[in-house]
Amino acid sequence: MSGNNGTGETIQDVTKELGELGRELRQRANDIRKEAVKQLNHAAESIRREAREDMDDESAQKTADEVAKGLEKAAHYLNTNSVEQMGQEATRIVKKNPVPSLLVILGIGILIGLLLRGGKK
């Protein structure tokens, strides 16, 4: 392209802006991921502390510890995988198991819809 009509420059400008937007979105996603790791670890600590302080039942303490371990595993997964890696893994799982994936997505959609709707009929 000669660039006489400005089309080549416009496409380059749009491409540059999209690249910058992509970088910014990845950075925000990584910031959110890091904050989620902190929150999950904090929640695990809180659950363990509350279970030790307030629960005399050994079974309840064991259950609380299992919940805390699950939160720590989730935090570890988020901490060791980038947003891109998680996206690739999600894509692979959906391609491998499309029907169960759709059913899970449908269930999540229904739950979100019910939560957003609240008690209104």
> What digits encode the pLDDT tens for the residues 46-81?
999 988 888 788 888 899 999 999 999 999 999 999
Q: What is the pLDDT of residue 89?
A: 94
Do 10 and 57 share a domain, yes or no? yes
Do 16 and 55 share a domain, yes or no? yes
**pLDDT tens figures, 83-107:** 889 999 999 999 999 999 999 999 9
State the total domains in the chain. 2
Do 20 and 58 share a domain, yes or no? yes
Do 37 and 91 share a domain, yes or no? no
* Residue matched to tokens 């997505």: 105
Domain around 69: 1-80
Do 56 and 97 share a domain, yes or no? no
Which residues, including other chains, have CB under 8 Å from residue 30's CB and lie 6 or more apart? Answer: 82, 83
Q: Is 99 exposed, middle or buried (0-12, 13-18, 19+ CB in 10 A)?
A: exposed
Do 7 and 45 share a domain, yes or no? yes
Distance (Å, rounded) from C-alpha 92 to C-alpha 110?
24
Do 70 and 92 share a domain, yes or no? no
